[in-house]
Amino acid sequence: MHKSLTTGRIVGAMALAAMCLQMAAFADVSPLTPDRPGFTNGCDVVPVGMTHLEIGVGETWTPASAGGGHTVDYPEALIRHGLTPKLEARVALPDRFDMSGGGSKGWGDAAVGVKWKFYQSKDGNTKAALIPMASIPSHDSNFSTGQVDPSLTIAGQTTSGSRWGLSANIGLSNPTQNGSRNFSTAPSVSAAYQLTSTLSMYSELYDNIPKTGPTSPIADGGLILVPNPNTQYDIEAGWGLGSGAPIRFVGGGVSLRF
């Protein structure tokens, strides 16, 4: 009886110690900062030696002027790995596109690059980063440009109090379209609000402005749930605001840190 009681105390102490160590480990880990959902990327990089896996699925409805129907895309996979306190490596895997009504199916291009957080204010509330990327063509006849296309995103963000956050991007890209380059600028701004300790919401405005062709203004928003320090779930929906934009889209995903 005495031996059983002692063993129980030891097991209980070990369980309590393990719980305390786990809580301490979580306390030492910086907040989870995926670059999804939405179009606007944040400025934070993945902690050194850790990896983010961000995946999702979306469905987009296209106006009749652009062929109509709807398209499902997945896995929207982005892998990020922390190299230094200010630098991360990024690999965007190819997306699979399935168009409705017997339309085209295939794979888009992959991309590789880095994120460099080059500025952070002394209080940590205001940050800025650069995200240069280069595509790797899949050579899919329907969804690949067939060329290596460069892009650069200039990102900034700030917070107000413990609940409000504001982020903005200017994306610069030079994609290949119909055999020639079509330089594009993509501005976006996103406002986030912390509803509870684990739930937040965001709203966003985005546009893609090519040198040739119509613009694609979009308004979107969604909910973000972070049940633990290394996991995030998200849902989003958006609506086109111009003839060159999709009618609407919906999506959701998960982000993991390990």
Comparing 67-71, 118-122, 210-214, the range with the smallest average pLDDT is 67-71
pLDDT tens figures, 138-178 = 999 999 999 999 999 999 999 998 899 999 999 999 999 98
CATH of domain 31-257: 2.40.160.40
Domain ranges of the chain: 1-30, 31-257
Rounded to 5 degrees, φ, ψ at 129 are: -150, 160
User: How much is the pLDDT for 28?
Assistant: 53
Percent share of the chain, pLDDT over 70: 89
pLDDT tens figures, 1-20 = 444 434 444 434 444 443 44
Contact 70, 61 (CB under 8 A): yes
pLDDT tens figures, 222-252 = 999 999 999 999 999 999 998 889 999 999 9
Taking the alpha carbons at both ends of the chain, their separation in whole angstroms is: 43
pLDDT tens figures, 71-105 = 999 999 999 999 999 999 999 999 999 999 888 99
Comparing 8-22, 125-139, 197-211, 220-234, the range with the smallest average pLDDT is 8-22
Cα angle: 157, vertex 162, 168; to 5 degrees: 15
Output the pTM of the full model. 0.87
pLDDT tens figures, 23-52 = 444 445 689 999 999 999 999 999 999 999
As a whole number, the mean pLDDT across the chain is 90
Q: What is the DSSP letter of 15?
A: H
User: How much is the pLDDT for 102?
Assistant: 83
Hey, what's the torsion of the CAs at 58, 63, 68, 70, to 10 degrees? 10
Q: What is the mean pLDDT of residues 124-140?
A: 97
50 vs 163: CA distance, rounded Å: 26
Task: Determine the distance from the C-alpha atom of residue 150 to the mean position of all C-alpha atoms in its chain, rounded to a whole number.
Answer: 19
